[in-house]
């Protein structure tokens, strides 16, 4: 078998195979990769749109698995890393360590970064397809899922995506300036993002001062009057989407105590035995927090707490209630639900009862959604993804997708890594099988940068980003933080070009 051959024998067999080819075919071939596939005299050129985890993990796998491929990454903002920079909570610096791996990929000799390029506006997907052998769309989910209830547009209602973007320095969210003068905030949704937002709202400012949270957010939170946060879900304790790490952080958050409704946990103890281990451990921690009498030390801690947080189950938003002048949020009306079915498949159905909660801040954390980028790219507006099979975009040869655009906004960074590797494998398989035509020379970034120059667009290179990085780190060091982010595109570009 081939696996049993020594390397010299393999080479001789390969030589004979090449000799048997016609001279015309032979002249079109220049090398053989480690998998034995022959590629054209021009190295394969792949373009990736989006420099978040999906984009970088796709690039990483392509570069490692194929020794001739060149990858160009295009990013709308002047700075890379997507949700690692703008989505990960500021008090989770360990999650941001993946930036080190992404930096290695970006600085690889066969990878180039082009920031400040808005694909779909500055350059079309079709133009990229003409310049590259393959195009991978990995631009994520920048849209918001709306609640679709009356009062959603009132002052005091925000999407979690925008709220997170505000405290993490996303330029488009800089002007958000949320009003934190109320006592109670209601967060709709029970995923990790909902708990991140709750934790940031309730964390002691001295804790946040040591993170890379933006200075305007830090100042706003220092003056915040929010003392109570309710995290609301339409289903029950067994169906929450957050993980045990995030729940444990809430349970142990200094200066806070939990506020649960015991009746919400009826029957949950009996359901424990049928749960898979991770879900079982998570549910046990919820039960302990909600029902168990705390020990002396914990009771003392809770007695001294000035802020509270609570999970509220079997509730679904019906209407955001306005103040008498109808200018801003005064409360939220919740429909009471019950479950049909059990476990992950359980559905929430309305009971006909409603409940009003007084609050001045409503944050909707019911999910991000992808948006279409270009009319030439198929898009399923109902599920808000690009229709695909293993990352191959349907009815669009040479076009691929990875990350949340491929699957919808689910999972953590490790989930995105695996789905991005899968897309990269699909693309490599198509190279090896001939589905992707590699015989034609493609000019890649050469023609795209020329087009951008004609259109007055000046891309930001990775070394330009490193200038921004150094300035942010230096500003952070001066105030005892890991970094102080630049908050506008204009400021980023000024530093990059200085």
Which residue ranges make up the annotated binding site for NADP(+)?
190-193, 234-235, 246, 411
3-state class (DSSP) for residue 47: strand
Task: Tell me how crowded residue 291 is: count the other CB atoms within 10 A of its CB.
Answer: 12
Report whether 360 contacts 183 (CB < 8 A): yes
- Measured between alpha carbons, how far is 396 from 425 in angstroms, rounded to an integer? 17
Q: Please enumerate, by residue number, every residue annotated as part of a binding site.
A: 54, 75, 83, 119, 190-193, 234-235, 246, 404, 411-413
What is the CA angle 93-94-97, rounded to 5? 95
3-state class (DSSP) for residue 306: coil
Count CA atoms within 13 Å of residue 253 on its CB side.
Answer: 28
Q: Find, among 226, 189, 216, 193, the residue nearest to 361 by Cα.
A: 226
Report whether 155 contacts 406 (CB < 8 A): no
- Measured between alpha carbons, how far is 255 from 258 in angstroms, rounded to an integer? 11
| Distant-in-sequence, close-in-space partners of 289: CB < 8 Å, separation ≥ 6 | 247, 251, 258, 260
Residue 442 C-alpha from the chain's centroid: 31
- Measured between alpha carbons, how far is 413 from 140 in angstroms, rounded to an integer? 12
Residue 89 C-alpha from the chain's centroid: 12
- Measured between alpha carbons, how far is 45 from 128 in angstroms, rounded to an integer? 11
Report whether 44 contacts 431 (CB < 8 A): yes
Q: Please enumerate, by residue number, every residue annotated as part of a binding site for FAD.
A: 54, 75, 83, 119, 404, 411-413
Q: Find, among 125, 131, 122, the residue nearest to 452 by Cα.
A: 122
Question: Which two tokens mark 125?
Answer: 């997907």
What sign does the dihedral 460-489-159-481 (CA atoms) show? positive
Residue 267 C-alpha from the chain's centroid: 35
Report whether 330 contacts 358 (CB < 8 A): yes
Report whether 117 contacts 80 (CB < 8 A): no
Q: Tokens 């009057």 — which residue?
A: 225
| Beta bridge partners of residue 143, listed in sequence order | 369
């Amino acid at each position: 078998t081939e696996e049993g051959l020594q390397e010299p024998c393999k080479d001789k067999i390969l030589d004979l195979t090449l000799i048997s080819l016609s001279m015309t075919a032979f002249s079109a071939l220049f090398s053989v990769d480690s998998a034995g596939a022959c590629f054209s005299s021009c190295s394969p050129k792949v373009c990736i749109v989006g420099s978040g985890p999906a984009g970088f993990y796709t690039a990483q796998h392509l570069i490692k698995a194929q020794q001739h491929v060149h990858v160009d990454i295009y990013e709308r903002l002047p700075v890379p890393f997507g949700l690692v920079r703008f989505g990960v909570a500021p008090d989770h610096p360990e999650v941001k360590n993946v930036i080190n791996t992404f930096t290695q990929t970006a600085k690889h000799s066969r990878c180039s970064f082009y920031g400040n390029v808005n694909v779909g506006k500055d350059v079309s997907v079709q133009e990229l397809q003409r310049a590259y052998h393959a195009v991978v769309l990995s631009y994520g989910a920048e849209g918001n899922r709306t609640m679709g209830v009356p009062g959603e547009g009132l002052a005091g209602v925000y999407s979690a995506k925008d709220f997170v973007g505000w405290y993490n320095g996303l330029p488009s969210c800089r002007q958000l300036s949320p009003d934190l003068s109320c006592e109670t905030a209601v967060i709709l949704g029970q995923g990790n993002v909902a708990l991140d937002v709750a934790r940031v709202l309730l964390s002691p400012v001295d804790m946040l001062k040591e993170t890379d949270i933006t200075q305007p957010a830090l100042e706003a939170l220092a003056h915040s009057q929010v003392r109570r946060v309710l995290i609301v879900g339409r289903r029950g304790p067994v169906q929450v989407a957050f993980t045990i790490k995030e729940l444990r952080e809430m349970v142990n958050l200094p200066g806070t105590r939990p506020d649960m409704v015991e009746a919400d946990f009826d029957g949950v103890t009996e359901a424990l035995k049928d749960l898979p281990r991770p879900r079982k451990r998570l549910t046990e921690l919820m039960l302990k927090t909600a029902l168990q009498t705390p020990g002396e030390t914990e009771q003392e801690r809770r007695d001294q707490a000035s802020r509270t947080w609570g999970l509220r189950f079997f509730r679904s938003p019906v209407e955001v209630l306005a103040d008498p002048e109808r200018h801003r949020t005064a409360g939220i009306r919740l429909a009471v639900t019950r479950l049909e079915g059990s476990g992950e498949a359980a559905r929430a159905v309305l009971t006909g009862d409603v409940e009003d909660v007084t609050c001045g801040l409503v944050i909707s954390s019911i999910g991000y959604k992808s948006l279409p980028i270009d009319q030439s790219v198929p898009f399923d507006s109902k599920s808000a993804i690009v229709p695909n099979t293993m990352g191959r975009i349907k009815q669009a040869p040479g076009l691929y997708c990875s990350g949340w655009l491929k699957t919808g906004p689910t999972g953590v960074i490790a989930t995105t890594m695996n789905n991005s590797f899968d897309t990269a494998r699909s693309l490599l398989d198509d190279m090896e099988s001939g589905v992707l035509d590699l015989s034609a020379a493609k000019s890649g970034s050469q023609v795209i940068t020329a087009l951008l120059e004609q259109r007055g667009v000046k891309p930001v290179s990775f070394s330009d980003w490193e200038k921004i990085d150094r300035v942010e780190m230096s500003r952070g060091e001066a105030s005892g933080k890991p970094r102080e982010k630049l908050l506008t595109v204009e400021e980023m570009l000024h530093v990059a070009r200085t």
